[in-house]
Amino acid sequence: MERWAVAMSGGVDSAVAAAVLAAEGHEVIGITMNLWPTWLPPSDTSSRTCCGVSAVEDARAVARRLGIRHYVLNMREEFEVSVITYFAEEYARGRTPNPCIACNQAIKFSLLLHKVTALGLDGVATGHYARVAYDEASGRYHLLRARDARKDQSYLLYGLTQEQLRRLRLPIGEHTKGAVREMARALGLPVADKPDSQEICFVPAGSYHDVVARFRPQALRPGPILDCDGRPLGTHQGIARYTVGQRRGLGLAGGEPLYVVAVDQERNAVIVGSAQDLLCDELTASQMNWIAFPTLPGERRVTARVRHASRDVEAWVRPGADPSEAAVRFAEPLRAASPGQAVVLYDGDRVLGGGIITRVGTRAFARA
């Protein structure tokens, strides 16, 4: 019998993950991480966030139903440092962060995994829609897309190491979302029909500017809006309020539609251009994590994704000048890739690896 900690968010997916492991005969311990920011009201009852007070109560109710132990771990300080501060800092740098990826890497599969293995448990299970498989020929663990393509979350997990994959279970990766809800109903779990969380957990009101204002207020200083040739067109209200691809809220009158094509921290400037200027032919990524092999052996054809909800595109990847870097060239121009986002590379269902975009080769910069 193995002993697994299940990261229970209060949602249906992690609840069923715990139920599956318990049905397999393992000892299951439910753990809910208290990540709720100290500056937000403690009486949150939103069902659309994954770490509020209601989430803890829902996870506790599921644990009672399954007859497993349940604990709450206070990780608020670590979460604020590793995720929330990072989130604000990236916007202050004119980049577009993904806080879920940061949470997975710094909290769930680093801090939490370390804590539970130190207690003698085999590892951590979560309700992510993805799969882990071991390849005897290469001696490596592989991360695969979920069976349910609409819910696949492998993009968010590209940073997992071999040791982390060895100690990870993803019990619902073989199931569709509909099947997971049916399993929850059959088991009488109280969260069977609970809506999926939608908002960033520390931005329950949907305004991330408040978070940036608290941690990096300088990112909300007004500055110039420039066209791709450096001509001033207007004034912005802080670079953290603008992301690549944005059209609305620029406050520019008349003429052809203009979009944010870049955010320049050094000049505190927002650069705008046409839809054509948004097209990206290539990019450079750093902090590369390779799952399928120790390092990228050479140039190869892949499919690439630059946002969790975007489609895959055909591309080629080659090693960068530094072992931690890679260059990605797209078979067809890609729209609105942004520094700070993750680019994740696939071979069919298999995640090869991924990294953080540092430079984007857009038509705007090529013209300049």
Q: Which amino acid would we find at residue 291?
A: I
Q: Quick one: which H or E segment has residue 60?
A: helix 53-66
Over residues 122-131, mean pLDDT = 98
- The radius of gyration computed from the CA coordinates of the chain, to the nearest angstrom, equals 22
pTM attached to this predicted model: 0.93
Distance CA 245, CA 253 (A): 18
State residue 191 phi and psi, 5-degree precision. -105, 15
Q: Is the confidence at residue 271, as pLDDT, over 80? A: yes
- Please give the pLDDT value at position 367: 44
- pLDDT digits over 186-221, tens only? 999 999 999 987 668 888 666 788 899 999 999 999
Residue 103 appears among annotated catalytic residues: yes
What is the structure's pLDDT at 251?
86
- What does the pLDDT look like over 212-257, one tens digit per residue? 999 999 999 999 999 999 999 999 999 999 999 999 889 888 778 9
Please write the tens of the pLDDT for every residue from 59-92: 999 999 999 999 999 999 999 999 999 999 999 9
Nearest Cα to Cα of residue 13 among 68, 42, 55, 54: 55
Q: Is the pLDDT of residue 4 over 70?
A: yes
* Contacts of residue 311, Cβ cutoff 8 Å, sequence gap at least 6: 305
Which strand ranges, in their side-by-side order, compose the sheet holding 259-264? 232-236, 223-227, 269-273, 259-264
Domains and CATH numbers, the chain: 3-186 (3.40.50.620), 221-274 (2.30.30.280), 277-367 (2.40.30.10)
CA angle 297, 302, 308 (to 5 degrees): 120
Q: Which of 50, 100, 103, 228 is catalytic?
A: 103
Mean pLDDT of the chain: 92
> For residue 365, what is the enclosing H or E element?
helix 363-367
Distance CA 368, CA 363 (A): 9
Which pLDDT value is given to residue 362?
A: 60
pLDDT at 208: 86
Which residue among the candidates 50, 51, 100, 201 is catalytic per the annotation?
201
